[in-house]
Amino acid sequence: MDLRQVFDDLVRLETDLWNAVDARLRNETGVPLGTFNLLLVLEDTEACRVNDIAERLAITVGGASQAVDRIEQKGLCKRQQDSADRRSSIVSLTPLGKQKLSEASPFFDDELAVWLNIPGTRADFNHFSTVLARMRAAAAQRNTPRS
């Protein structure tokens, strides 16, 4: 197995996929993929904090905070002080954020179907998905601080 080739294929696929989905979302809805990803996290995470966003998107807390600032300025989300922890805030979608997510979702799903409709059987795709999830889980373990 040529790990360098696997690395190259994986990274190039991710870059091509990101660029295609981002272009489609921008053209059809004006919502960049980075914003869309953040909106998805907010929709899926109850009592979402910036730390939750950072963890889900595999970015720094500072990067997540800046991303929240940007979409908050666009009226897509709002921060409210966390009543359980006054040092943090809860980030949630606004009605406009929900609307933009709803508008962009069909284009996102359609572009994914185009790009991820790989030749082969459903079993091949399920196997690929399982291996990818295992690789991400292993990577998360490696990134966990050791005591």
pLDDT in tens, 62-120: 999 999 999 999 999 999 988 877 788 999 999 999 999 999 999 999 999 999 887 77
Count of domains forming the chain = 1
The answer to whether residues 37 and 57 touch, using CB atoms and an 8 Å cutoff, is yes
- Check residue 39 and give its pLDDT: 98
| Domain of residue 59, CATH code | 1.10.10.10
Q: What are the backbone angles phi and psi of residue 49, rounded to the nearest 5°?
A: -110, 165
Cα 125 to the center of its chain, rounded Å: 20
3 by Cβ neighbours in 10 Å (0-12 / 13-18 / 19+) ranks as exposed
Per the DSSP assignment, residues forming a β-bridge with 80 are: 90
- Check residue 146 and give its pLDDT: 44
Q: What is the pTM of this model?
A: 0.85
Where in the sequence is the domain holding 9, given as residue range(s)?
3-143
What share of the chain has pLDDT > 70, as a percent? Answer: 97
CA distance 32 to 24: 9
Per the DSSP assignment, residues forming a β-bridge with 78 are: 92
